[in-house]
């Protein structure tokens, strides 16, 4: 019952945090009010700026920030023990991650839906505009380039997931049409869409689809090309056509899966479910040190810079009322923390539990050790996803769902979330390119500038990602060469977004900036520590390219931190950006 107790305490803590700390941050610190007009109201265009019901935009925002992050991060970090991972997820998500996401969203809502990069230039210093854009561009470039491979690997592991994942597209398009064109009852059409979606999951059991080798191109390369074509279409369509409704039904898919998993945990606890992983394991074989790398490895479950890009990118352009920001920004991060708690339970307790009726399976600490024998054995994408999916399927088998079907349900869930990240990331990189190359410049002509047009900017975003993905061959795995940079870059972005929020609060409300400043200092310390450690490792092992880019990121962090501290303690006049919609 220790597993159930931990789960109940964590979820109860999240509810209390939302009610108390979320309310404090929203009302006392940022003073959110529906009297303030949102960008969605002011610039409504039916394409990017669309006032949206908070339940629907919550679904979009949550699935966009989640992706595979809250799964793969905790699934490897438990190698240091389940206690450090759980503490960081629980505490980090409440006082750092949710505050980070909420503040990024509110700042964008009050600044014409501009990105965190533009906001930093406005409140911190014009000098940091391009370096902040660089760190955001690197973040999205790496993530976009790797996502095709991630989805391809998941499809290969769970071919039964391919059919239901692709069927989500016509379901989502129909849902969007019903809600926005036919004024259908949201509850009724949502229920119908989710039911149909889970029917396709069951059908997927009998329709496994595995991509063959085409010529000399393996499945990963083929899937990457197909997925990039999809990303181009999805990210240039109006958000209400595909992006938003797909994210919304995927959120409901998650809620159903989480409910099933919670029930499985409760029932399985009566059949011996318990933590089989060590509570703390400071020196796993081949692993980096717990400090600072736990705080880099678990990002999305605790705090992630990618969330600031989403909040100030797609989400801020769709929030209808400013007071919805608490539910969307703060609440979605706590929901992601809750998901990570379930991942920790699945990979440290569920993985050591035999599925119902299986008397031949390896169980207990032996099973966990088999999977987490060393950092290298547990660090691959397949190993991390597999640990979560298998552990979850074991537990839900105790509520009568066969393990074979449980594997499909969880496989579809993981693949679906990776898919939502793909189209959102492509749209976000399009926004970055448009802002950087002219969409917000006074006098810039959007019609005559290819790179401020949504099609041209999206092509450039996907072309850059594609060049990286295929830089080492036709398998589409080229981004793996630079992927080690992503974790530290992502957390550096989180630290810099928190510094921007601190400057914003300092300039607009005086002494109320500590709620963001203290987390910013913690994150910049941990990130700098990790970057320096990586720098020593990269140059020590002859990885010059990684070392060079890592050094650039380290210098950017130092520069933006200094600029932020300078801006916090001097009076600066606000620079008001001319509101120009991107097309």
Tokens for 543, please give them.
Answer: 């990885």
Give the residue among 297, 296, 302, 293 at the shortest CA–CA distance from 94.
Answer: 302
Give the residue among 69, 116, 62, 61 at the shortest CA–CA distance from 89.
Answer: 69
Domain ranges for the chain, please list them. Answer: 1-569
Contact residues for 357 (Cβ-Cβ < 8 A; gap 6+): 397
Whole-number Å distance between alpha carbons of 476 and 478: 6
Dihedral sign of CA atoms 353, 91, 98, 143 in order: negative
Buried b (16+ CB within 10 A) or exposed e, 153-177: bbbbbbbbbbbbbbbbbebbeebbe
Q: Is 214 helix (H, G, I), strand (E, B) or coil?
A: strand
Q: Is 217 helix (H, G, I), strand (E, B) or coil?
A: strand
Reduce the secondary structure of 422-470 to three states and give it as a string.
HHHHHHHHHHHHHHHHCCCCCCCCCCCCHHHCHHHHHHHHHHHHHHHHC
Other Cβ atoms closer than 10 A to 438: 18
Going by the DSSP 8-state scheme, the letter that residue 280 receives in this structure is: -
From the DSSP assignment, how many helices (H) and strands (E) are in the chain? 25, 0
Counting beta carbons within 10 angstroms of the beta carbon of residue 481, is it exposed (0 to 12), middle (13 to 18) or buried (19 or more)?
middle
Q: Locate all alpha helices (DSSP H) within 214-299, ordered by sequence.
A: 219-236, 243-268, 290-297
List residues bridging with 52 in a β-sheet. 319
As a CATH number, domain 1-569 is 1.20.1740.10
Whole-number Å distance between alpha carbons of 257 and 254: 5
Please provide the DSSP assignment of 385-421 as one string: HHHHHHHHHHHHGGGT--HHHHHHHHHHHHHHHHHHH
Counting beta carbons within 10 angstroms of the beta carbon of residue 194, is it exposed (0 to 12), middle (13 to 18) or buried (19 or more)?
buried
Give the residue among 54, 105, 51, 188 at the shortest CA–CA distance from 501.
Answer: 105
Backbone angles phi, psi at 424, to 5 degrees: -65, -45
Between the CA of residue 194 and those of 65, 167, 245, 249, 480, what are the distances in Å? 21, 12, 11, 6, 35
Between the CA of residue 264 and those of 47, 87, 145, 354, 402, what are the distances in Å? 41, 23, 36, 13, 12
CB distance 99 to 499 below 8 Å = no
CB distance 275 to 2 below 8 Å = yes
Whole-number Å distance between alpha carbons of 524 and 528: 6
Q: CA 168: distance to chain centroid?
A: 19
pLDDT at 356: 75
CB distance 50 to 44 below 8 Å = yes
pLDDT at 286: 84
CB distance 270 to 37 below 8 Å = no
Between the CA of residue 435 and those of 43, 118, 577, what are the distances in Å? 16, 8, 12
Tokens for 575, please give them.
Answer: 């620079």
Residue with tokens 């699934």: 75
Give the residue among 365, 301, 361, 369 at the shortest CA–CA distance from 335.
Answer: 301
Between the CA of residue 425 and those of 84, 102, 287, 400, 491, what are the distances in Å? 30, 19, 30, 37, 17
Between the CA of residue 461 and those of 118, 224, 241, 387, what are the distances in Å? 19, 14, 21, 33
pLDDT in tens, the chain (583 residues): 699 999 999 999 999 999 999 999 999 999 999 999 999 999 998 888 999 999 999 999 999 998 888 998 999 999 999 999 999 999 999 999 999 999 999 999 999 999 999 999 999 988 888 888 889 999 999 999 988 888 888 888 889 889 999 999 999 999 999 999 999 999 999 999 999 999 999 898 889 888 888 888 998 899 999 999 999 999 899 999 999 999 999 999 889 999 999 999 999 999 889 999 999 998 888 889 999 999 999 998 999 999 999 999 889 999 999 999 999 999 999 999 999 999 999 999 999 888 776 665 667 788 888 888 888 877 777 778 888 999 999 999 999 999 888 988 888 888 888 888 898 999 999 998 888 876 554 344 555 577 778 899 999 999 999 999 999 899 888 988 888 899 999 999 999 999 999 999 998 877 789 999 999 999 999 999 999 999 999 999 999 999 999 999 999 999 999 999 999 887 654 444 444 454 4
Whole-number Å distance between alpha carbons of 176 and 171: 9
Backbone angles phi, psi at 346, to 5 degrees: -65, -40
pLDDT at 375: 85
pTM, entire model? 0.92
Backbone angles phi, psi at 566, to 5 degrees: -65, -40
Whole-number Å distance between alpha carbons of 235 and 223: 18
Tokens for 563, please give them.
Answer: 């600029």
Q: Locate all alpha helices (DSSP H) within 78-128, ordered by sequence.
A: 82-92, 98-109, 116-123
Q: If you count them, how many residues does the chain have?
A: 583
Whole-number Å distance between alpha carbons of 55 and 504: 28
Instruction: Determine the straight-line distance between the first and last CA of the chain, rounded to whole angstroms.
Output: 54
């Amino acid at each position: 019952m220790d597993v159930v107790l931990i789960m109940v305490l964590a979820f109860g803590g999240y509810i209390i945090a939302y009610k108390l700390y979320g309310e404090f941050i929203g009302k006392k610190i940022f003073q959110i009010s529906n009297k303030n007009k949102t960008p969605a109201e002011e610039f409504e265009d039916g394409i990017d700026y669309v006032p949206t019901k908070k339940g629907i935009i919550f679904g979009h925002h949550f699935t966009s920030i989640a992706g595979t992050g809250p799964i793969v991060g905790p699934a490897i970090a438990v190698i240091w023990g389940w206690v450090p991972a759980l503490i960081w997820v629980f505490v980090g998500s409440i006082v750092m991650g949710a505050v980070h996401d909420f503040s990024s969203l509110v700042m964008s809502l009050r600044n014409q839906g501009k990105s965190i990069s533009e906001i930093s230039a406005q409140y911190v210093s014009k000098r940091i505009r391009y370096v902040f854009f660089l760190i955001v561009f690197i973040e999205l470039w790496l993530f976009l380039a790797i996502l095709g491979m991630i989805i391809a690997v998941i499809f290969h592991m769970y071919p039964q997931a391919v059919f239901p994942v692709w069927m989500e597209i016509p379901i989502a398009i129909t849902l969007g049409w019903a809600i926005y064109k036919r004024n259908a009852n949201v509850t009724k059409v949502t229920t119908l869409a989710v039911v149909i979606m889970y029917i396709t999951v069951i059908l997927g059991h009998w329709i496994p689809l595995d991509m063959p080798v085409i010529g000399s191109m393996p499945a990963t390369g083929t899937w990457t090309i197909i997925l990039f074509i999809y990303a181009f279409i999805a990210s240039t369509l109006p958000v209400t056509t595909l992006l938003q409704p797909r994210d919304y039904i995927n959120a409901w898919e998650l809620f159903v899966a989480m409910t099933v998993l919670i029930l499985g945990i409760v029932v399985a606890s009566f059949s011996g479910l318990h933590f089989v992983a060590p509570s703390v394991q400071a020196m796993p074989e081949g692993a980096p040190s717990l400090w600072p790398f736990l705080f880099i490895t678990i990002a999305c479950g605790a705090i992630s810079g990618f969330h600031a890009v989403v909040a100030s990118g797609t989400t801020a352009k769709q929030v209808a009322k400013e007071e919805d920001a608490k539910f969307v920004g703060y609440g979605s991060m706590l929901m992601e923390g809750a998901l990570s708690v379930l991942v920790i339970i699945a990979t440290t307790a569920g993985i050591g539990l035999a599925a119902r009726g299986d008397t031949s399976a390896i169980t207990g600490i032996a099973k966990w050790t088999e999977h987490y024998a060393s950092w290298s054995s547990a660090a691959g994408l397949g190993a991390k996803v597999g640990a979560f999916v298998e552990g979850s399927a074991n537990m839900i088998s105790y509520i009568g769902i066969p393990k074979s079907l449980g594997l499909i349900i969880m496989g579809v869930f993981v693949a679906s979330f990776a898919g939502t990240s793909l189209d959102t990331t492509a749209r976000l990189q399009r926004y970055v390119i448009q802002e950087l190359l002219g969409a917000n410049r006074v006098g810039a002509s959007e019609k005559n500038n290819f790179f401020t047009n949504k099609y041209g900017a999206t092509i450039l975003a996907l072309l850059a990602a594609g060049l990286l993905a295929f830089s080492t061959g036709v398998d589409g795995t080229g981004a793996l060469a630079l992927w080690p940079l992503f974790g530290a870059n992502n957390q550096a972005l989180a630290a810099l977004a928190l510094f921007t929020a601190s400057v914003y609060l300092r300039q607009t409300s005086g002494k109320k900036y500590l709620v963001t400043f203290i987390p910013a200092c913690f994150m910049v310390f941990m990130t700098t520590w990790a970057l320096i450690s990586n720098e020593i490792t990269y140059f020590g092992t002859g990885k010059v390219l990684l070392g060079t880019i890592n050094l650039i990121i380290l210098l950017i962090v130092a520069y933006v931190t200094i600029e932020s501290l300078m801006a916090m303690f001097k009076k600066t006049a606000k620079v008001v950006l001319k509101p120009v919609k991107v097309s």
